[in-house]
Amino acid sequence: MSDKTAIITGANSGLGLAVAKRLFEEAGHAYQLTDLRVCLACRNLQKAKFAKQELHEIFGLDIQVDVLELDVSRPASVKQAVEEIKCRYKHIDWLYLNAGIMPVEGVNWSELWPPYPSRILQAFTDGGSLLKVVDSKTPEGLNSVFATNLFGHFLLVRWLEDFLCSQRCPAHIVWTSSSTAMKSHFNIEDVQDQEGIDPYGSSKFGMDLLSLALNNMLNDKGIYSHTVSPGLVITNMTTNILAKWLWYLMSPVVLLMRLINGSWTWDAHHGAEAQIWLSKQDPAILDHTAKYYSCCSPFGKSYVKQSREKLDPELADQLYKKLLKLAQQFETS
């Protein structure tokens, strides 16, 4: 269990930082804190340094925490980060692909009317068309949600592939997907969701497909990929939808909802349960068609639920090929 390395994208706050904290907690129980090295790969380097300082304050100055500048929406930033990773590390045990954006400008309140309990539960569980998501363009002309949530991480994996294959230990890729990943909002002819209504849900379903494709191609090389859903977690992303005080005003409702649906994890610590559970498993024997859901009981006990996803291998292969063709525009000979 010694000498473990984890890279976490989007780790300066929220779920990514919670994963880092819980990895160190597990290290303290299972082996030595100093045997774990965590890299906080973040777009904002200053915020990453604050997160590093917070980890030192909690776990001591002896822990190994690095910061790495990485904007997954920008291919040039991904390429530079890949070169830095190859220079810094001998191997990567866990690659947590967590960075993501969900630019919401409001809520479609009409989706909650009439206010049947089943309708409200479904709306808050999977999002669906409840949220008004607005997209924009990156300087490279890519749709921002697609570039950040899916394509940038695809480039990271692709450009690290030879490095991951050359190491002696297996590499475990863990994608932060979502319960909003719906096939109905994904179009293989429009993978950036330029003409769709839900770029966030489309990107998350794309993650599920891509994870399946990567397993089919890379398992025999010692690289394994799985997706998780953190549940409904209050982070910087969700407070863009409703004010934080309003979310916490709903806390009594959350306790009630947990009786029906454990995916109301609410805080990042519980939301990171599936990521941490996967870190303790042998990736080679896990079901690569399953998604792993972070759940929480009404009494605050975290647990993981596994659900086999109905994913089409041919559709996954088509997506991989489309992303590969797009990636070639940003690769040098």
Question: Known catalytic residues?
Answer: 200
Residue 29, both tokens: 């129980």
Pairing of strands 104-107, 131-133: antiparallel
Residue type, 39: C
Q: What are phi and psi of 87, to 5 degrees?
A: -80, -35
Cα separation of 301 and 33, whole Å?
A: 24
Q: Which of 234, 225, 232 is nearest to 207 (CA)?
A: 225
Residue 202, both tokens: 């489309």
Q: What are phi and psi of 291, to 5 degrees?
A: -110, 145
List alpha helices for 167-284, DSSP H. Answer: 199-218, 244-249, 251-257, 268-271, 273-279
Cα separation of 179 and 201, whole Å?
A: 8
The dihedral sign for the CA sequence 225, 231, 236, 237: positive
Measured in whole angstroms, the distance separating CA 113 from the mean position of its chain's CA atoms is 31
Helix axes of 45-59 and 14-30: crossing angle, nearest 10 degrees = 30
Cα separation of 146 and 113, whole Å?
A: 30
